[in-house]
Structure 1
C-alpha cells in the first residue's frame, strides 16, 4: 500500500469515528423522543382502530355468529345463545364482563344494563335451552339490535371510533348512517376549533406586525429592551396568564370597572365565558409566536430597498406594499403557521375563559380520556386532528415552501 492509499484509509477511518461520535451524541435525544413522543403517539393511533374487548371477551359468541351468518334483521338461533352463555360465565369468573358491557354501551346506549343483567344471572343456569332464558332475563335479547351491536364489534380492528368522531354510526343492520340530531357534536366542534384558530391567527398577525415593525426600526438598545417585554410572558405559567384574564375580564374585573367609572357603560359587559374571552386570552398568549418570526425577518430587510423605491417615484404606501411587505412573507408565514397549529390544540385557556359552547376539540379529547373513559373515541378525535394538521402542513409546504419559512 502506497502512502496515498494509506492516507485515504486513515481519513476514512477518522470520518467513520466522527460519524459514530455524532450518532452517540444524538442517541440519548433520539431515545428520549421515541419514548416521550413516538411511542405515545403510536399508542394513540393504535387505539383509534384496535379494539379487542369484544372479540377477546366473547370468542365463542363471535365465532357462532360468523358460523350462523344470518340476516341482521333476525335473532340468532340457540347455538349462538349457548355460546354467549359460556362466554358470560367465563367473563364473570375473569371479571371481564364490565369492560365488555361498557364497550357495548358506547355503541348502543342501554346495552350495559342488558349485558350485565344477563351476565349476573347466567351463572345460576346450569344448562339450556338458553334462548328462552336470555329472553326472560331481558326482552332485548329477542331483538336484533343488541346482536347487531355485537356483530359490529366482532373484529379487533374497525372504523367505528372514526365514524363516531365524524357524527356517523354503524347501525345494527350494518349500514352507516348519521347520528341522531341531538348527538351530532363533533363535526361542529372541529369547525369551531378551526374557526377559533383562524380568528386568533388573524388577530395575532394584525397586532404582531406593527409591533415587530416598530422593534425592527428602533435602535438596537431600545429594541432589545422592548423585546424583553415580548418575551416576558414566557417566564410565567400558561395557567397564571389565563387566570389573569379571568380577573381582568370578569363582571367586576378591571375592564368593566374602568368602563363603568368612565360612564361608558351602565351594566357590566359579558367579556368572559364566551368566544370573545377565548379569542382575547389566546391572542395574548400566542402573540409572541407571531412577533418573533416577523421581527427576525424585518431586521434582515435592508432599509435601502424602500429608499430606492421612493427615489424611483413610489409613494410610501406603494413602496411598503410592493417592496417591503413581500419580503416579510417568510415571517408572516412562520408566525401564522405556528399560531394556527398551536391554537388547534389549545385546552386550558378555552376551558377556563370559555363557555359551554366555546370548548375546542382538545377539551372533548380530554373528557373522553378522563371522564367517559372512551379511549378509542379520544384516540380517533386526536388522530383526525393530527391528520388535519399534517394535511395543512403539506398544503402549506406545497404553496409557500417550508424552506422559505423563517422562525427567527
Structure 2
C-alpha cells in the first residue's frame, strides 16, 4: 500500500505515472536516471535483434512507401492533367518573349527612343528592324510576331507580312552590284571560303549525311569578325539556319541578300587593305566599288516607307517598345478593358469594353441558374428522401436519365423547343395564352441560356441535397409535431436547418460548373446570353490569342477562389456535406 512520506511535497513510495514515462524513454534508447534503486533499462529488441524503435521506424517507412505507390498513378495524372495546365496558363498570361526574341536588335535600339516625341525613330532603329524582320521572315516567324502585335494595334499583322516579302529588294540592290563586279559574290563556295574556318570547310567537305549524321557546326574564320563584324554576324546566322533548319550545306547554298547589305555597311566603315586571306583581291575590289561615286545605296527608313507607309507612323514603334519586355501585364489589362499607352495605363474606348460586361453577366447568370436549381431541386430532393426506398429509386432514375444523353443533344433540343416556331410557343398559342403574332422570344438571349442550363445542371443540385436529406432522422419531425409545432414551424425550425449543408454543396457545385460552361450559351445564348468562357474558347480556337485567353481564365479562376473563400468565411466549408 502506498504511504505519504516527508513534510515537504508529498511523494508516493510505489509505482507512479512518471515511472511509465521513464520506461517509455528507456525503450526509445534514451539514458534515464535510476529510479527507486532500479538500474538503466535496456532497449527492447525485435525478433531479429534490431532495436524495436529502429524496426518500427523501418516498418512505418515501408508502409508509407506502399501507400505512395498506390496513389502514385492518380498523383501523376493530377499533376499532368490538372496542375501542369494551370501553371502553363498562368505563365502564358504574362509571357511575351516573342517580341524580344524575334526583334532583339530593334528592342535594344528602341531603348533610347522617346515614345512621347510623336516622331519616328532614327536610322539606327530602321537598320536594326531590317535585319530582324529579314531573319524572322526567313524563319517564318514574322507573321507570328505580327499577329502578336496586332492584338495591341490593328493592322500590324498585314504590315509584317508585306515587309517580309519586300525586304529582299533592299539587299538585292547591293547583291546585283557586287555580282556585276565579280560573279563569285553570288556563289556559295567563295562566300564560305571568305567567312568560314578552313578546318570547318575540310570537315564539311568530308561530311557524309548517311554516315556522319548532323553537319559539322559552322565556325567563322579567325579574325573575320574583327574585320567584317556585320557580315560575319549575319553570315553565321545564315550558315547555321541553312544547316539546322533547311539541312543544306553553306558550301552549296548562296547567302541571303541581307549578308550583301551587311558587307556594304562593313566596307563603307572599315579598311580592308591589310587583309590577305581567302578572297582578298575580290574583297578589296568590292571595297573600291563601294567607295566609288556611282555606287547605289538604299536608305533603310525610305525603303521601309516604300514597303508600307505604316512604318512611318510613330504608333507602330511605340507598340513594339511597349511590348518589348519578355513579361507583360498587357494581357491582364486587356482582360479588364484597359490598355498600355505611352502615357501609362488607361481605359479602352467605351465601344471596346466587352470583358467587364461579360464577367458581370457570367456571375449574374450563374447565380440566377444556381437559385433556379435550388427552387426546383429542393422539392424533388425532399420528395425522394421521404418516399419509400423502392419508389424513390425508380424516381431517381428519372433524375439521372439526362446523364445518359449527350450535352450537345440536350442543348440542341432546347433550341428547337424554345424558338418562336417551337414546341413551347406552339403549345401556348394552341392554349390561347399567347397570340400567334406575339410569340415569346426565348432563344438567343439570356432567358434561353438560363432555361437550358438550369435543366442541364439540375441533377447536380438534386443529388447533394437528396444525400443529405436522406440522413435526417424522421423522428425529429415527429417529435416537433408531438410538442405542438405546426407543419410550417416543424419544417422551417427543424427540417430545413439540417438540409442546409446539402444546399451549400449543391450550390457550390452548380455555380462553379455554370461559370465554366460555353457549349450551351454558344448554342442558345445568342449575343446577350454568352459567358466569358465563350470568349476564352474563341481566343483559344479562333483568334489564337492564347495570352489573353490565359489572362481571362486566370481572372475567372481567381474569382472562383475568392467566392469560395467568402463562402467559407460566411457559411463555413465544414458545414457542407454530401451526405452521411
Report TM bin, short chain.
over 0.9
Counterpart CA distance in 2 for 1:2 and 1:99 is 72
Aligned match for 2:106, one of 61, 76, 89: 61
Q: Write the mapping of 1:56-95 to structure 2, written as runs, cut at 5 A.
A: 56-66=101-111, 68-73=112-117, 74-95=119-140
Deviations 1:89-134 (A, max 9, x none): 1112211111111111110011223333333322211455322332
Aligned match for 1:190, one of 350, 359, 367: 359
- Give secondary structure in 2 for the equivalent of 1:355: coil
Q: Write the mapping of 1:104-143 to structure 2, written as runs, cut at 5 A.
A: 104-126=149-171, 128-143=298-313
Query: How far 1:227 moved relative to its partner?
Result: 1.4
Deviations 1:291-343 (A, max 9, x none): 11111111222223233333344332222222222211111111111111100
Q: Write the mapping of 1:235-250 to structure 2, written as runs, cut at 5 A.
A: 235-250=404-419
* Alignment pair present for 1:166 and 2:336: yes
Deviations 1:55-105 (A, max 9, x none): 111000001111x14343332222111111111111122111111111111
Aligned match for 2:524, one of 329, 347, 353: 353
What residue is the counterpart of 2:193 in the other structure? none
Given the two structures, how large is their TM-score scaled by the length of structure 1? 0.94
Bigger CA drift: 285-294 or 10-19? Answer: 10-19
Counterpart CA distance in 2 for 1:25 and 1:274 is 49
What residue is the counterpart of 1:147 in the other structure? 317
Aligned match for 2:383, one of 201, 208, 214: 214
- Give secondary structure in 2 for the equivalent of 1:358: coil
Query: How far 1:348 moved relative to its partner?
Result: 0.9
Deviations 1:357-396 (A, max 9, x none): 2111111111111111111111111111111111111222
* Alignment pair present for 1:179 and 2:348: yes
* Alignment pair present for 1:393 and 2:564: yes
Given the two structures, how large is their TM-score scaled by the length of structure 2? 0.67
* Alignment pair present for 1:369 and 2:414: no
- Give secondary structure in 1 for the equivalent of 2:346: strand
Counterpart CA distance in 1 for 2:323 and 2:334 is 14
Higher RCO (CA 8 Å, separation ≥ 6 residues) = 1
Gaps of 5+ in 2: 1-42, 172-260, 262-297
Query: How far 1:6 moved relative to its partner?
Result: 4.5
Counterpart CA distance in 2 for 1:125 and 1:49 is 36
Bigger CA drift: 275-284 or 111-120? Answer: 111-120
- Give secondary structure in 2 for the equivalent of 1:176: strand
- Higher helix residue share: 1
Aligned match for 1:300, one of 471, 474, 495: 471
Higher gyration radius (CA): 2
1:208/1:86 CA distance change after superposition, 3 Å: same
What residue is the counterpart of 2:256 in the other structure? none
Counterpart CA distance in 2 for 1:309 and 1:176 is 63
What residue is the counterpart of 2:141 in the other structure? 96
Equivalent pairs counted in the alignment come to 406
Deviations 1:132-191 (A, max 9, x none): 3323433333332111100111111001011111111112x1421211222111110111
1:71/1:274 CA distance change after superposition, 3 Å: closer
What residue is the counterpart of 2:61 in the other structure? 16
Gaps of 5+ in 1: none
Counterpart CA distance in 2 for 1:302 and 1:133 is 86
- Give secondary structure in 1 for the equivalent of 2:339: strand
Question: What is the CA RMSD across the aligned residues, in angstroms?
Answer: 1.8
Counterpart CA distance in 2 for 1:149 and 1:304 is 72
- Give secondary structure in 1 for the equivalent of 2:94: coil
- Give secondary structure in 2 for the equivalent of 1:170: strand
What residue is the counterpart of 2:244 in the other structure? none
Counterpart CA distance in 2 for 1:130 and 1:348 is 50
Bigger CA drift: 122-131 or 392-401? Answer: 122-131
Does the 8 A contact of 1:297 with 1:328 survive in 2?
yes
Counterpart CA distance in 2 for 1:2 and 1:60 is 74
- Give secondary structure in 1 for the equivalent of 2:408: helix
1:285/1:71 CA distance change after superposition, 3 Å: closer
What residue is the counterpart of 1:228 in the other structure? 397
What residue is the counterpart of 1:25 in the other structure? 70
Aligned match for 1:335, one of 491, 502, 506: 506
What residue is the counterpart of 2:428 in the other structure? 259
Deviations 1:35-69 (A, max 9, x none): 11222222211111102111111000001111x14
Counterpart CA distance in 1 for 2:430 and 2:305 is 71
Counterpart CA distance in 2 for 1:356 and 1:89 is 42
